[in-house]
Every structure is written in C-alpha cells, then in structure tokens.
Structure 1
Amino acid sequence: MKLKEFTSLFLQHTQLTRRHLTPELALRLITRECPLWAAPVTLSPFTDPYWGFYWPGGQAVARYVLDNEKVVKNRNILDVGCGCGAGAIAAAKMNAKRVVANDIDTYALEVTKINADYNDVKLETNANNFIGAKCDEFDAILIGDMFYDEDFARILFDWLSELTNKGKTVLIGDPGRHGLTESRRNQMSLIARYNLQEQSCMENNGFTETTVWKLKKYVICKCILFKYIFKLLIPDP
C-alpha cells in the first residue's frame, strides 16, 4: 500500500482523542467508537495496525517525560518502536534538543508524523533497526511495550544494558508483560506507577496500571561479564 493511500485510510478509520494518560497530546487512534475496532480481520484494510493503539507502556513513558522535563530537555532522544509516536512527541514538547522516532514499520512512522503535526512539534523519523547499535549520538532511549516475547526481550535487555553502562539514560514503559521478568526488574529502578483510565483498561486486556523503569548503570550484560572474567583468568602476557 502506498503512503498516500495509507494516510487516507488511517484518517478514515481513526479518531482524534485525548482519553488517555497524556491528555496534553492529541492522538489519532483506533478507539472503541471506531467501526474498525469490532470489524472482522478480513474487513480491515490493515494487516497489523498496532500503531493505531496507545499501548500502556507507551502511555507511561510519555506521561513520565511530560512530568519530568529534565529527563529530555536539551538532550538527544531516541524512541525505539515508536508506534503512534507519543513518546517522541512528548520529548519534543519537553524541549529535547533532537528527537528521533524509530520503528521498522514505515506506516508507524507515517502515523507518528501525523500525530506530531496535530501537536505542533518537529521530530525526525528513522526506519533502521537500532537494536544492537551503539547509539553514540543519543543521550536517552525510550522503550514502551517491547518486552512481549522472551527471546526478543533477552536481546533487547542485553542491548539496553550495554547502552546504560555507556552512560545513556534508558526508560522502559511496561504494564507487566511476561518478558520483563523479576530477574530483569531487579536490575532496574521503578520510578513511576500510573493507574490506567477505564478506556485504556478495556482496550488493553485487563491491565489496570502501568509503570516506568530505569536501568541501573551497574547492570552488565552477559557478553561483557564473560569478557571480564576471561581477562581475569587469563591475563595478558
């Protein structure tokens, strides 16, 4: 589907709403009032419109950014898996120096641009896969609702741990998905907890609250720990 056709369909099947944790942001979303909400999959013009929903982890990160300007002000921000773009838009509103909304789905980036325009903010979009990248040009990384799969969560957490040890600020929004295990939570600090609005509870499979976590700098991923132990056991000649 070409972007022009996608944009037309997206505007047709979504609603501009502020009924979420960040009413400062006007976002076009697939709400319960939209016919597409209850339509059979076969009648949907989109294969997987995840970017049409404001997931609870994303709501938490955006809410935290809006309440804590110093986290992003005059800093370079990367929003990974940006979806509808709320985290990136919140960072831009809070005077980030540079904001890059990242998603490997170009439709998500188009949705982010649309929502950014509604909120009168400027940001960049990027469809590259940043997972595993050094991210030297960024000061803070925003992550929302990405710990939904254990295999991916393992890769993601090791990468974020490496970035944290390099001095990056990593904020993770999550409502309690199984990939954010107790072991991983023990390596982070819980910095915010929010009760979801009734509308969001109904839209998100019964989740009633959502949280924001910050990785602790001393977290060492397995690959770094192995290299360190190897060096201790076999010193340089």
Structure 2
Amino acid sequence: MLLEFVQAHTVLAPVPFVPEVRLYQAGDPIALWEATEESGAEQPPPFWAFAWAGGQALARHILDDPDLVSGRSVLDLATGSGLVAVAAARAGAHPVTANDIDPLSLAAARANAEANGLRVETVEADLLDSDETYGVVLAGDVFYSREMAGRVLPFLRRAAGRGALVLVGDPGRAYLPDGLIERAVYDVPVIEELESMPIRRTKVWQVTAS
C-alpha cells in the first residue's frame, strides 16, 4: 500500500542536478502535501517526494568522486527519497543503508533503488542515539530545525570520531553548525514552490569529531 501511494502521487524522472539517477518525484508539491495530510493517520511531511538541494549536491559530489564511497559501507541518514543512498550504490558503495523514521520515505527509497537497478537496504528507526559503525555517513538537508540539528550533529561527530567519513549537503539552512570543512559548492536547481527560488547555492561539508 505504501508503494502504491508513492507511485500514485509521483512520476519517475531524472533528478535535475543528478540525471544519472531517476526518482519518483512529485509533479505538484502542494497537491501531494494535501493528499498526505488527508490520507488518514497523521503523516510526516512528504520529504520523500522531492530531490532537495542538499541531497542533490551530495549525490553529485560522490558520483563525481566515487572513491569517496566505493567499496565502503554507507549510511544515508534521514534518507527522504533515497537519492543519496542510490547515488552511493551507483558509485560502488556496499552495503548501503537508507535510514528514516517515515515508512513512506523507505518505500520510496526502495522503489527508487529498484528503478535504478541498484540495491539499498532500509532501516526504519531513530538512529541518532546509536553508535553503529559505517565507513561513510551521508546526510542531506538535516539542519532545517534547531531540534533536529541539536540531535544530528552529536551523532555525526561520534561517527567521525569512530573513523567514518561524514559528509553533509546543505543549502544554507538556518541551523547549519559552525566548524565544518567545506568540500564543494554547487548551484542546484530546485522546486521554486518549495524553496522560493529556482536555484540554491549548496555546499558539501565534512564533519569532524570536534
């Protein structure tokens, strides 16, 4: 049923800044938002139906430099559509785990991986208090609220302290922390109805242990 909802409200199409990857994307973001709210049980916002700027930049970065992830285990934290997880798998990462707390997000991530002929494992859980070990941790657009940033940053720093390469993609969200290492800058096409502009200057940052 989750897969049917995803496919009924989206169209499989190339990602604007990462055309090597196709995603099930919403053509009308406002209509999807309303459909999600009207679906019965309370649902999180449909972040899974859009290629957000941070995720596009992060996906572009690892596809352009696949040695960052090739042959390494990867966690895509708060995966949304699964775009970054799919890009990591395409770049040769293995295994790739897409994590989110929204079951619709994980249904979309599985559908998107399959549409690209790739394998991605999914985990529906809040991992932010855990200490699981991955070779690479990737996170796109996670600093959008004070509460989220306050929980995500310690998790990312702990992962870096255990030796993981930790990269985040962010278009200047309000709660992006200081002290990160800039890796790349991109001008990413976005959905104007969501971002109030057609292009977002977006950076890939590396998180260190301190």
Scaled by the length of structure 1, what TM-score is found?
0.80
Matching residue within 103, 107, 111 for 1:106: 103
Tell me, in whole angstroms, the C-alpha distance in 2 between the residues paired with 1:162 and 1:178: 22
Partner in structure 1 of residue 175 of structure 2: 179
1:203 shift after superposition: 3.9
Tell me, in whole angstroms, the C-alpha distance in 2 between the residues paired with 1:43 and 1:89: 26
Q: Which amino acid aligns with 2:200?
A: T
Matching residue within 188, 193, 196 for 1:205: 196
CA-based RMSD of the aligned residues comes to: 1.9
Instruction: Write the deviation string for residues 138-190 of structure 1: whole angstroms up to 9, x where unpaired.
Output: 1110111111111321221122112212211110111001110xxx33x2111
Q: How does 1:90-101 map to 2 (within 5 A)?
A: 90-101=87-98
1:188/1:213 contact within 8 Å kept = yes
Tell me, in whole angstroms, the C-alpha distance in 1 between the residues paired with 2:180 and 2:32: 40
1:84 aligns with 2:72: no
Partner in structure 1 of residue 50 of structure 2: 53
DSSP 3-state at the match of 1:74 = coil
DSSP 3-state at the match of 1:83 = coil
Q: Which amino acid aligns with 1:176?
A: G
- The runs of 4+ residues in structure 1 deviating greater than 6 Å are none
Tell me, in whole angstroms, the C-alpha distance in 2 between the residues paired with 1:28 and 1:40: 12
Partner in structure 1 of residue 19 of structure 2: 23
Unaligned runs of 5+ in 1: 220-237
Tell me, in whole angstroms, the C-alpha distance in 2 between the residues paired with 1:40 and 1:72: 33
Tell me, in whole angstroms, the C-alpha distance in 2 between the residues paired with 1:20 and 1:191: 21
1:59 shift after superposition: 0.8
Matching residue within 182, 187, 210 for 1:190: 182
Tell me, in whole angstroms, the C-alpha distance in 2 between the residues paired with 1:163 and 1:54: 25
Q: Which amino acid aligns with 1:170?
A: V
Tell me, in whole angstroms, the C-alpha distance in 1 between the residues paired with 2:15 and 2:84: 16
Q: Which amino acid aligns with 1:150?
A: R
Q: Which amino acid aligns with 2:171?
A: P
DSSP 3-state at the match of 1:167 = coil
The structure with the larger Rg is 1
Q: How does 1:1-237 map to 2 (within 5 A)?
A: 4=1, 6-31=2-27, 34=28, 37-39=29-31, 42-44=34-36, 45-46=38-39, 47=43, 48-136=45-133, 138-180=134-176, 184-185=177-178, 187-197=179-189, 199-201=190-192, 203-206=194-197, 208-217=200-209, 219=210
Partner in structure 2 of residue 227 of structure 1: none
Instruction: Write the deviation string for residues 190-222 of structure 1: whole angstroms up to 9, x where unpaired.
Output: 10111122x5455423362111100134x1xxx
DSSP 3-state at the match of 1:135 = coil
1:78/1:100 contact within 8 Å kept = yes
1:139/1:169 contact within 8 Å kept = yes
Tell me, in whole angstroms, the C-alpha distance in 1 between the residues paired with 2:92 and 2:138: 15
1:201/1:208 contact within 8 Å kept = no
Q: What's the % identity of the aligned pairs?
A: 31
2:22/2:116 contact within 8 Å kept = yes
Instruction: Write the deviation string for residues 82-130 of structure 1: whole angstroms up to 9, x where unpaired.
Output: 0100100011111112100111111111000111111000111111211
1:42 shift after superposition: 4.9
1:56/1:204 contact within 8 Å kept = no
1:19 shift after superposition: 4.4
